[in-house]
Structure 1
Amino acid sequence: MKYKLGDFVRFVDEKMEGFVTRIIDDEMIGVTGEDDFEIPVPASKVTTVHGYQSGKSTNSDVIAEQKIPAAEFITKGIYLGVANDAKAGSVVHFYLINTTDYILPITLITEKLGIAKGEYVGIVQPKSNIKIYSAQLADLQLWPKLILNVLYYTTQSVKIPGPLTVEEKFKAKDFAGTKKNLPLMKEQGWLVQLDKPDLVIDAQKLKESFFKPAEEKIAIDKPVQEVDLHIEKLRGDHVFLDSAEIFKLQLAHFNKALDAAIVHQLPDITFIHGTGNGTLKNELHKILGKHPKVQTFMDARKEKFGFGATRVILK
């Protein structure tokens, strides 16, 4: 099939266009238009719209090096960056980002159910990046294992490391962190360093660690008067979390804020939990009803929150 995730296509028989957001099989693809509705369509019924590129690439098969003094030659800094497509947000692209001064011949192989498939082969020049793979974010649990092989090359008189092989089977938790600015790219995404420096153990620091004095009492920040427990207020990556993980995070934030309010001797604190199906509200009320430091609790300011917030009066 000639189409890839993120390609911009136009329907042959209709005045419609959109981005390829799913590869169903060898003959069918899913295309998402401006209405964010994905339409299954035979690949033969669409055509590529030239002029749009879903990913940026600075790759070149021409090997040309600029001489760099050995003392300034950068040897570390190979990253795998994952970013949402600028037009089709349900698609993510994987980039090999090379901030070193080495030229990097690379291959990417995917493996699923014991079957391997070559996805990319090429050369990444120094201080450049290249898109090597794309995937549908909603299918994260079905992604294959990625096997990335990297060679180092330079004509300069510096030490050349041995081949780098990285095998990774991504899970939802791998995308739980906050997005970062991707090196060499004007985009934000998730970043993994593939050539982390070798761990060097400092014997003196290790020895000192056995004789550290008792840690000082940890300072607890004073909570705000109104604590919003909606998951989008707590985590920017909440789209990757399932309902059980969200519920666990909300309870943890609630308990932390309640403990802080008690430590700082606040007279009361309000928790905004929303209405929803009532599961979170019921669990909070169950905890509050048994808490020895809670005097009483009630719905908070119905004119402002409706039944979506609880005010807690502390002893």
Structure 2
Amino acid sequence: MKFKLGDFVRFVDEKREGYVTRIIDAQTLGVTDEDGFEIPVAVGNLTSVHGHGVVAEEIDQPKPIQVNVPSVNKIENGIYVAIATDDKAGNVVHFHLQNQSPNILLVTLSTERKEKYAGAFHGIIPSYASTLVYSASLADLDLWPEFTFQVLVFSKADVKPIDPLVIRKKFRAKDFGSEQKELPQLKNKGWLIRLDDLVPVTIDAQKLKESFFKSPAEKKTVAAPSKEIDLHIEKLRDDHHFLEPDEMLQIQLAHFQNALDAAIVHHYDKMIFIHGSGNGTLRDKIHKLISKNPHIKTYMDARKEKFGYGATEVVFK
């Protein structure tokens, strides 16, 4: 049986189910279960569960809606990706491509990660309709590929054809910094991100001015990190046994960078990163990043009597 990303599957030999979130090779898939762990499973040990999942609802006889601010059911004409959470598997999110326009879209979606490419979706999306195109684990955001949407716009109306669109998108943590909302055409909550950005963004000068005078309580703050950050992968991820070495390294480096940035925001004088000895790869990567950071005065091996050569102390300017 052939599976694709986003399929809801059940394990043959045990009472467990989840979503296909990664194709490891021709015989092995990564399945994220309801606890948010991605498990490598042989294709022969999986069976499809039909009639399950988030289903996009098409709207009969749609009418164009023209408003300025996106809300639950009223959004500007355009092309969006609705990233919906899953009620059953907390860490899994589903990407729905939404055509909020009177045109018909012919769409392909491909992914690229470390110069390796894969086709994820191709199809036709009617006007004012939504289609599931991808699924992934939100916990692995740092490992998500770059998405390339190629869109051909078709209209029966007497209008000049527009050029095909090529939309490249690399999702970042900031894309998910806002509160989840009810998604148009879907039953789940999540985030709505515009892809085509055909309407120019206008800045409200008055609101921008007011934002400068907000009280500290009104401004979003960055949580203060611990002054000792343990980067051992088993401290960061419960499912580290299923991760590839390069995936572990990327997770560790992302955690390091987030803690370092937070320390700079809070004006720390120093902090310690525990990276272990190992083969020295993580240590070398961290030292390279530290040496290029303009906010860092110096760095050194931290308390050799306690950590040996397995930790680095950073001194800020």
The residue number in structure 2 matching 1:261 is none
Deviation of residue 131 (structure 1)?
Answer: 0.9
Amino acid of the structure 2 residue aligned with 1:87? K
Deviation of residue 222 (structure 1)?
Answer: 7.7
Deviation of residue 5 (structure 1)?
Answer: 4.2
The residue number in structure 2 matching 1:43 is 43
Matched-pair contact (CA < 8 Å) for 1:11–1:46: yes
Task: Pick from 213, 227, 245 the counterpart of residue 258 of structure 2.
Answer: 245
Matched-pair contact (CA < 8 Å) for 2:57–2:185: no
* Structure 1 Cα separation of the partners of residues 97 and 146 of structure 2: 16
Deviation of residue 134 (structure 1)?
Answer: 1.8
**TM-score normalised by length of structure 2:** 0.56
**TM-score normalised by length of structure 1:** 0.56
Secondary structure of the corresponding residue to residue 197 of structure 1: coil
The residue number in structure 2 matching 1:169 is 170
Q: Does 1:145 align with 2:146?
A: yes
The residue number in structure 1 matching 2:10 is 10
For the aligned residues, what is the CA RMSD?
4.5
Matched-pair contact (CA < 8 Å) for 1:31–1:41: yes
* Structure 2 Cα separation of the partners of residues 131 and 107 of structure 1: 12
Secondary structure of the corresponding residue to residue 89 of structure 1: coil
* Structure 2 Cα separation of the partners of residues 216 and 166 of structure 1: 34
Deviation of residue 150 (structure 1)?
Answer: 1.1
Matched-pair contact (CA < 8 Å) for 2:29–2:41: yes
Which consecutive residues of structure 1, in runs of 5 or more, have no partner in the other structure?
232-239, 256-276, 278-315
* Structure 2 Cα separation of the partners of residues 217 and 22 of structure 1: 40
Deviation of residue 99 (structure 1)?
Answer: 1.3
Matched-pair contact (CA < 8 Å) for 1:84–1:91: yes
Deviation of residue 198 (structure 1)?
Answer: 4.7
Deviation of residue 163 (structure 1)?
Answer: 1.5
* Structure 2 Cα separation of the partners of residues 104 and 220 of structure 1: 43
* Structure 2 Cα separation of the partners of residues 139 and 228 of structure 1: 21
Secondary structure of the corresponding residue to residue 153 of structure 2: coil
* Structure 2 Cα separation of the partners of residues 68 and 21 of structure 1: 35
* Structure 2 Cα separation of the partners of residues 142 and 222 of structure 1: 34
The residue number in structure 1 matching 2:281 is none
Amino acid of the structure 1 residue aligned with 2:193? V
Amino acid of the structure 1 residue aligned with 2:106? P
Q: Deviations over 1:40-75 (max 9, x none)?
A: 43220121222313x323579xxxx96989x9xx99
Amino acid of the structure 2 residue aligned with 1:43? V
Q: Deviations over 1:141-190 (max 9, x none)?
A: 33222111111112122343221110122233333333343332233222
Amino acid of the structure 1 residue aligned with 2:135? S
The residue number in structure 1 matching 2:52 is 52
* Structure 1 Cα separation of the partners of residues 5 and 128 of structure 2: 26
Pair 1:230–1:89, CA change in 2 (3 A): farther
In terms of Rg, which structure is larger? Answer: 1
Pair 1:169–1:228, CA change in 2 (3 A): closer
Secondary structure of the corresponding residue to residue 151 of structure 1: strand
Matched-pair contact (CA < 8 Å) for 1:107–1:150: yes
Secondary structure of the corresponding residue to residue 140 of structure 2: helix
Q: Deviations over 1:83-137 (max 9, x none)?
A: 2233222222211111111111111122234343322111111111101122233
Amino acid of the structure 2 residue aligned with 1:97? Q
Q: Number of matched residues?
A: 230
Amino acid of the structure 1 residue aligned with 2:258? E
* Structure 2 Cα separation of the partners of residues 201 and 116 of structure 1: 36
Matched-pair contact (CA < 8 Å) for 1:29–1:42: yes
Matched-pair contact (CA < 8 Å) for 2:19–2:33: no
* Structure 1 Cα separation of the partners of residues 216 and 56 of structure 2: 47
The residue number in structure 2 matching 1:20 is 19
Secondary structure of the corresponding residue to residue 108 of structure 1: strand
Amino acid of the structure 1 residue aligned with 2:47? T
Counterpart mapping for 1:225-304 below 5 A: 242=255, 245=258
Pair 1:229–1:250, CA change in 2 (3 A): farther
* Structure 1 Cα separation of the partners of residues 128 and 101 of structure 2: 6
Counterpart mapping for 1:69-80 below 5 A: 76-80=77-81
Secondary structure of the corresponding residue to residue 139 of structure 2: helix
* Structure 2 Cα separation of the partners of residues 178 and 22 of structure 1: 24
Which consecutive residues of structure 2, in runs of 5 or more, have no partner in the other structure?
67-74, 226-250, 273-317
Amino acid of the structure 2 residue aligned with 1:152? V
Pair 1:43–1:155, CA change in 2 (3 A): same
